[in-house]
Amino acid sequence: MSIQKFVDYLRLEKNYSEKTIESYQNDLNGFVVFYLREHSTHEIACADKTDIRNFLMHLSRSGLSGRSINRKISSLKTYYKYLIKVGEIEKSPAAMVSSLKHNNKVRIPFSEDEILNLFKLPGIFSDDFEGNRNQMILELLYQTGIRRAELIGLRLSDVDLVEKRLKVIGKRNKERLIPINDELNEHLNSYIEERNTLFGNELDNLFLTKRGKALYDKFVYNLVNNYLSIVSTKTNKSPHIMRHSFATHLLNRGANLNAIKELLGHSSLAATQVYTHSGIEQLKEVFNKAHPRSDKN
């Protein structure tokens, strides 16, 4: 069974994004290389549990992080489940392989004051297309909580200035609508007018470089990191922390967790609950003020 058939299954039946499919391919190709060296064949459908464990030991010795190894375990499990589904094998050699335990890094969101300074301090954004575009990118990341890939994938046609909402294509090509407030809607309108004047409609991408090309992951990461370095000394200044801050600030101000889940595009509430630890101080404050058995009552 070729990996290509599995890839076609992910693309056509599971409707996974190209980036996700690429990750699966890389993980499986890595195992193919290892298995070929051990058995002089690339038919990993014949692998057993020992082969899987030896591969994971090889990855660990090579210095790969626990998180990355766990992703490869997940890819192998998914692949062998597919082989069972199509009748290629009867039992998965990865079925009883457990993920590695690792400590989750605590993500510290930006405070509301830090975010306020980002948009209110004079002179942060230059008064030209690049400055306006950069401000628009940061505002969208914080005010909508969209992922970096979702922002890069935004098209002009995804912006509805009349209904004041964005259409976002998330993981597994799942579509969701995100409302935007009047101020953000006005900023978007001004940006789009300037963008179209400079570059026209040849490319439908909402955000472009100064040369009129589509943005890419590293571009957005560096942009966010550079601007946040002006207002914060926190170590992690990635686009994902903007998303984390969006969710945390909503939670702190009383937003329903299910509503935050929908805005973020999470498939389950468990994925959203990672943000609840950030609001624990606010929850303590509510408890102390309201509960009859608290120390302050």
- What distance in Å separates the CA atoms of residue 116 and residue 109, rounded to the nearest whole number? 13
Question: Is 142 considered catalytic here?
Answer: no
Active-site residue, from 72, 133, 237, 243 = 243
Active-site residue, from 187, 244, 261, 266 = 266
Contact 180/188 with Cβ under 8 angstroms?
yes
The DSSP call for residue 216 is -
Question: Is 240 considered catalytic here?
Answer: yes
Active-site residue, from 24, 79, 227, 275 = 275
* Cα distances (Å, whole numbers) of residue 284 to 23, 130, 260: 41, 43, 20
- What distance in Å separates the CA atoms of residue 22 and residue 16, rounded to the nearest whole number? 10
Question: Is 176 considered catalytic here?
Answer: no
Backbone φ, ψ for residue 14 (5° rounding) = -90, -15
Question: Is 11 considered catalytic here?
Answer: no
- What distance in Å separates the CA atoms of residue 184 and residue 6, rounded to the nearest whole number? 42
Contact 155/169 with Cβ under 8 angstroms?
no
For residue 235, how far is the Cα from the chain centroid? Answer: 19
- Please choose, from the candidates 186, 209, 44, the residue with its C-alpha nearest in 3D space to the C-alpha of residue 55: 44
Contact 95/44 with Cβ under 8 angstroms?
no
Active-site residue, from 42, 58, 234, 240 = 240
- Please choose, from the candidates 148, 166, 144, the residue with its C-alpha nearest in 3D space to the C-alpha of residue 157: 166
Question: Is 293 considered catalytic here?
Answer: no
Active-site residue, from 49, 171, 176, 234 = 171
Active-site residue, from 107, 133, 147, 187 = 147
Q: What are the catalytic residues?
A: 147, 171, 240, 243, 266, 275
